[in-house]
Amino acid sequence: VTALADLLVAIVGPDHVLDDADVTASYARDWTGRFVGEALLVVRPGSTAEVAGVLRACTDAGVPVVPQGGNTGLVGGSVPRRQPMVVLSTSRLTARGDVDAGAAQVTLGAGVTMADWRRHAQAGGFDAPVDFASRDSATVGGAVATNAGGSRVVRFGTMRAQVAGLTAVLADGSSIGSLAGLPKETVGVHWPSLLAGSEGTLGVITAVRLKLVPWYRHTATAMVATGSLADAVAVLAALRSNVANLDAVELILPEAMAVVAAHLGATPPVGDERTGAYVVVELADHEDPTDALMAALADLPQIHDAAVTTEGPARERLVAFRDRITESISAQGVPLKLDVAVPVGALDELMAAVRAALAAHGGRVVPFGHLAEGNVHVNILDPGDPDLLARDILGAASALGGTISAEHGGGLAKSKYLHLVRTPAELAAAAALRHALDPTGTLNPGVLTAT
């Protein structure tokens, strides 16, 4: 360790190699406290060249490396394992380029936060296409590496779709990629597509060239009550074909509405005993889209109650029923969090399987999510048997053609379930690809490794 530490100090300077256990402890555990490992050293390189030096030194020394951005992940992918690892923090990679209005792009260091991406874009007259709750800590590099999602995916896609370019360093210290930001280039392997969602297993992202979208100053929000998940999907289908500028289509199931309403000390804004699924719909545009939203919802027979608001306190009261669900769950305890998705037509079957699993293994479900992607955050309070609940629910999602991780990534937590969603041939091919870029297994061992 001393020899490696000396090498790393020579690369990044003494202030940026941390070995005091009191200091490194916060890098060695995730924010939920469920994943705790040992940080041999924490290294904070200040440039792509320094990242290259660090990776080359660690690979030569046979010491594994875990890249860490904002450390806001939920699946243990950004903290060391029990096996001691070097934590490569991107916290100093915070350079920000000017907003390029012609290209509608901006170049950011991997360590820039999601919130800063948005603020920087808005200062240049644009907006960031991806947003999610951990925006103040989560970094753009981490969001690309985990292919993060959020509520605007229906309009703009996940983080993978936002990457017009990136630079990254492979395990052997080779630098790859470009920040030129070419929206069209087809000359072989497209590094942004490969690295997005690779969770630090193929390379360490050091900077990204991200797309920007228009900054829509007007948002209209509706909450509608439908009789069932099938009705909610019918509403989604109508919106998809009839509405331009659809910005979000979110799902709240009755159990979650009850929990958040109690937490807020408020009555649900819409719905009654007939309601099987609530849908939150947002349109964003340069002009006020409220009339368009009302018109789109007016003739849909699946809706038995609706509230439509534009900006201001009324909208804030409405969206609180979606935005504060997580907080209302946390107020009741630490949930088992399963982040599944299925084809939207299979949502009903998924929830039937969830309820059967609860009946068999115990727990109270607080389900909500992103309707347009069939993505349900299955939060279970007081889980009876977490392992059997996970087995049954992840198994049901995959049996329905769905997935065990929609937007949280695989990390460590899902390694034992990867076989549910990938065939042996696929796992073998993925392992061969990983071995081709990292033959010594330096980068994030255990993460995305089928067991």
Which of 101, 266, 294, 356 is the binder for its own copies (CB under 8 A)? 101
Q: Give the per-residue contact string, 402-431, with its own copies (x = CB under 8 A; - = no).
A: xxxxxxxxx---x---x--xxx-xx-xxx-
Does position 351 interact with its own copies (CB under 8 A)? The reply is no
Does position 399 interact with its own copies (CB under 8 A)? The reply is no
Does position 43 interact with its own copies (CB under 8 A)? The reply is no
Q: Which of residues 206-265 bind its own copies (CB under 8 A)?
A: 214-216, 233-234, 236-238, 240-245
Between 254 and 345, CB nearer to its own copies: 345
Q: Which two tokens stand for residue 332?
A: 């009741």
Q: In the bound complex, what is the minimum distance in angstroms from residue 220's beta carbon to its own copies?
A: 14
Q: Which of residues 353-372 bind its own copies (CB under 8 A)?
A: 370, 372
Q: Which of residues 20-39 bind its own copies (CB under 8 A)?
A: none
Between 91 and 201, CB nearer to its own copies: 201
Between 4 and 35, CB nearer to its own copies: 35
Q: Which of residues 118-157 bind its own copies (CB under 8 A)?
A: 125-126, 146-147, 149, 153-154, 157
CA distances from 238 to 34, 170, 287, 402 (A): 41, 45, 22, 23
Q: Give the per-residue contact string, 278-317, with its own copies (x = CB under 8 A; - = no).
A: -------xx-------------------------------
Q: Which of residues 47-86 bind its own copies (CB under 8 A)?
A: none
Q: In the bound complex, what is the minimum distance in angstroms from residue 265's beta carbon to its own copies?
A: 33
Contact (CB, 8 A) for 156 and 129? yes
Which of 3, 123, 189, 298 is the binder for its own copies (CB under 8 A)? 189
Does position 445 interact with its own copies (CB under 8 A)? The reply is no
Per CB under 8 A, the segment of 61-69, 87-95, 172-180, 271-279 that binds its own copies is 172-180
Between 144 and 354, CB nearer to its own copies: 144
Does position 345 interact with its own copies (CB under 8 A)? The reply is yes
Q: In the bound complex, what is the minimum distance in angstroms from residue 103's beta carbon to its own copies?
A: 5
User: What 3 state SS string does the chain have?
Assistant: CHHHHHHHHHHHCHHHEECCHHHHHHHCECCCCCCECCEEEEECCCCHHHHHHHHHHHHHHCCCEEEECCCCCCCCCCCCCCCCEEEEECCCCCCECCCECCCCEEEEECCCEHHHHHHHHHHCCEECCCCCCCCCCCEHHHHHHCCCCCCCHHHHCCHHHHEEEEEEECCCCCEEEECCCCCCCCCCCCHHHHHCCCCCCCCEEEEEEEECEECCCEEEEEEEEECCHHHHHHHHHHHHHHCCCEEEEEEECHHHHHHHHHHHCCCCCCCCCCCCEEEEEEEEECCCCHHHHHHHHHCCCCEEEEEEECCCHHHHHHHHHHHCHHHHHHCCCCCEEEEEECCHHHHHHHHHHHHHHHHHHCCEEEEEEEHHHCEEEEEEECCCCHHHHHHHHHHHHHHCCCECCCCCCCCCCCHHHHHHHCCHHHHHHHHHHHHHHCCCCCECCCCCCCC
Does position 160 interact with its own copies (CB under 8 A)? The reply is yes
Per CB under 8 A, the segment of 7-15, 178-186, 267-275, 306-314 that binds its own copies is 178-186
Does position 196 interact with its own copies (CB under 8 A)? The reply is yes
Does position 199 interact with its own copies (CB under 8 A)? The reply is yes
Which of 70, 109, 111, 181 is the binder for its own copies (CB under 8 A)? 181
Per CB under 8 A, the segment of 61-69, 84-92, 134-142, 184-192 that binds its own copies is 184-192
